[in-house]
Amino acid sequence: MLLEEIGSGSFGRVFRALNQKTGIQCAIKCMKKCPKFEQIIRQELHVFELLELEGPNGDENIVEFYESFSWNGNTCIVFELLCVNLYQIMSRNNFKGLPCMTVKKMSACILNSLKFLHNHQIIHCDLKPENVLMVRPGYPLVKVIDFGSSCRVGHTLYTYIQSRFYRAPEVILGMEYDTAIDIWSLGCIIMELLTGTPLFPGADEYDQMACIVEVLGLPPPSFLRKAKRLRTFFCDSGRLRHHSAGQEKASLTYPARSPLLHTMPRGLPGSLPLEVLLQHSLGGVDSDLLDFIQRCVCWVPSGRLTVIEALNHPWLRSLKSINMRRPEIVDSPEKKENTTNVSEPDGKCANSQLSPSATDPLSATIRLAVEA
């Protein structure tokens, strides 16, 4: 039985539903009848078929798949019903950033999902805060959703992938890509969770590259040799081409950054290093955190952390063991406010307008994050 619509997008709609036989609520994604979505459906179902073949025990931090069916020619996919996404959490926290320990726990969950995917040579291809959802209010346990853009290493399907703020430079430059693009996105997400604003808030694709260069400096020439779109962004001398990115195109869903941070036009290459961003946003620089982020968002994909290296990195090694599957927690007596994310490639969550009640489960989640 359908209860309410909880999201929508170009592909279709998502509903909260009730299984009347079991009494369990779920999320149903109903896809539009359109040829261009057929590949998306097949790929998403392929990932879940792989999960079933591997005999999952629920420890993969990936949204649980229940079944799929056809209704009036529309493919419908049934998932477990999750809570709010990470963008919504940051929004309700006024984009102030979350405590480091909370971010560590969430990062470990995301890495756990990538561990399964990368072990099977699957690239998520659209990792972002909107695609990482809380399992339940009051505990920093998260799961990854939306595998419609996923592909296998060596069998990439699209050249235009990843949401802009989290798009790896090799994708922007039209180069071959692999699982390292997910690590780039993870580094961007971690910085955003900690600081409250995107690490690379490009207004368009040209400005996105300018943001990256502003923080990381110019890419090594050896990296650019295989770039199909090299001259779109760089001059023959290796300098960045300048394109005017209208301020009106910039994301309006985040508060303006400090004048000390990203401004338009962008600064010189390397003029806004990660150390400065961390110092300004967090009031200090954790050397382990800095090293972790630097090894996630470096130009050369082969130089980025692997999932195993990330899980064993000193920044996460200090994290006490947490149950990534079933947190022992007492349910909130208030009505749960569940939502499943649906978003456009460069957009924000379509279902992010939540009531401001101070006693709702989302507010409890924010309090946990702020007080962690």
Give binding residues for ATP as ranges: 29
Catalytic residue among 126, 146, 207, 360: 126
Compute the distance between CA of residue 253 and CA of residue 350 in angstroms, rounded to an integer: 12
Neighbouring-strand partners of residue 151:
123
Q: What are phi and psi of 63, to 5 degrees?
A: -50, 140
| Residue-wise DSSP of 3-31 | EEEEEEETTEEEEEEE-TTT--EEEEEEE
Q: What angle do CA 125, 351, 65 make, to 5 degrees?
A: 55
- Which two three-digit tokens encode residue 84? 């709010």
Binding residues: 29
Number of C-beta neighbours around residue 352 at 10 A: 18
Compute the distance between CA of residue 69 and CA of residue 76 in angstroms, rounded to an integer: 5
Amino acid at 167: R
All residues at 6 or more sequence positions from 27 whose CB lies less than 8 Å from its CB, including other chains: 6, 14, 15, 16, 17, 78, 79, 80, 81, 82, 338, 340
Is 182 one of the catalytic residues?
Answer: no
Compute the distance between CA of residue 32 and CA of residue 12 in angstroms, rounded to an integer: 5
- Which two three-digit tokens encode residue 215? 């923080």
Amino acid at 250: A
Q: Any idea which residues carry the catalytic annotation?
A: 126
